Amino acid sequence: MRNIHTDVITEAVKKMCIEANLALAPDMEACIRHAAEVEDGALGKKILDSLIENMEIAKEESIPICQDTGMAVFFVEVGQDLHIEGAGLTEAINEGVRQGYRDGYLRKSVVADPLLRTNTGDNTPAIIHYDIVPGDALTITIAPKGFGSENMSKVYMLKPADGEEGIRASVLDAVKNAGPNACPPLFVGVGLGGDFELAAKLAKKALTRDADSRHPDAHIAKLEDEILDLINQTGIGPGGLGGKTTALSVKIETYPTHIAGMPLAVNMCCHVNRHRSVTL
């Protein structure tokens, strides 16, 4: 059995928190640059140009791309043959968040109680989704999530009879409702199937996919393309100021579901779609 110490995990998480917030992954950067090249809305083009300048300044000066450095969301795959030594795994991840948000000069955006609203001061606790998988590796994916876009996310409990048409209409509805609030151009994560809460989790997971990836199932990949096309015909554009780039990407993750239902979740993300992964 393989052993791993939680100190190693904390250190890796700390590093990922900082890196994810200071620079977009190359796939995200590439699709923003491409959008700026093809945008034909006058104000929309201005917005995209400033986003490129923004990425460059963030990198040069080591300051976060966006001031909302997010709530730290993790997808963690734990190999069932792995033995973890030291503190608890959850505490080790939270400690990495604590150190990363402190040493990286990232914003502390978490309140301890949804109603009393006192800031926890260190951006913990993180939101951690665990999966037990075969093997002895530990894979940690971080996706710091800003709430301007998170607030515009939705769950639709569609009926089987709603079909593809219902899916297209619902995602479009969510995007129109989000408009300028979610900092378009958007990255749209869609969870389809499962049940109420799994659909939402799949939608978040969809945001961690590479911008240039395609769903392995042809009918889902086609749906991703069709929905992206529809969204970009709305004219909402960058910043909601008019243009052809309302979304950069639409990603759909699916799971088997019940004979009576077709849950659909739309997790809205902005162009600052941050994610990093490490396998330890």
Binding region for ligand SF4 (CB under 6 A) = 66, 68, 146, 148-149, 182-183, 270, 272
The phi and psi torsions of 264 (rounded to 5 degrees) equal -135, 125
Q: 29's torsion region: left (phi>0), alpha (psi -120 to 50) or beta?
A: alpha
If 0-12 CB within 10 Å is exposed, 13-18 middle and 19+ buried, where does residue 161 land? exposed
Q: Shortest Cβ distance from residue 154 to another protein (Å)? A: 16
The smaller minimum CB distance to ligand SF4, of residues 247 and 270, is found at: 270
Q: Shortest Cβ distance from residue 274 to another protein (Å)? A: 11
Q: Shortest Cβ distance from residue 98 to another protein (Å)? A: 14
Residues contacting residue 218 through CB under 8 Å, at least 6 positions apart? none
- Which DSSP string corresponds to 211-269? TT---SSHHHHHHHHHHHHHHTTS---GGGSS-S-SEEEEEEEEEEE-TT-EEEEEEEE
Q: Shortest Cβ distance from residue 137 to another protein (Å)? A: 33
CA dihedral 75, 263, 221, 249 (to 10 degrees): -60
Beta bridge partners of 93: none
Give yes or no for residue 168 binding another protein (CB under 8 A): no
Q: Cα(277)–Cα(280) distance, rounded to whole angstroms?
A: 10
Give yes or no for residue 51 binding another protein (CB under 8 A): yes
Residues 107 to 166: which contact another protein by CB under 8 A?
Answer: 107-109, 117, 119, 121, 148, 151
Give yes or no for residue 35 binding another protein (CB under 8 A): no
The smaller minimum CB distance to ligand SF4, of residues 4 and 32, is found at: 32
Question: Tell me, what amino acid is at 196?
Answer: F
The one among 144, 191, 194, 237 contacting another protein by CB under 8 A: 237
The H or E element spanning position 74 is: strand 71-79
The smaller minimum CB distance to ligand SF4, of residues 21 and 170, is found at: 21
Q: Which stretch binds another protein (CB under 8 A): 89-97, 174-182, 192-200, 206-214?
A: 174-182
Q: Which residues bind another protein (CB under 8 A)?
A: 40-41, 43-44, 46-47, 50-51, 53-55, 57-58, 61-69, 105-109, 117, 119, 121, 148, 151, 179-183, 234-237, 239-243, 270-272
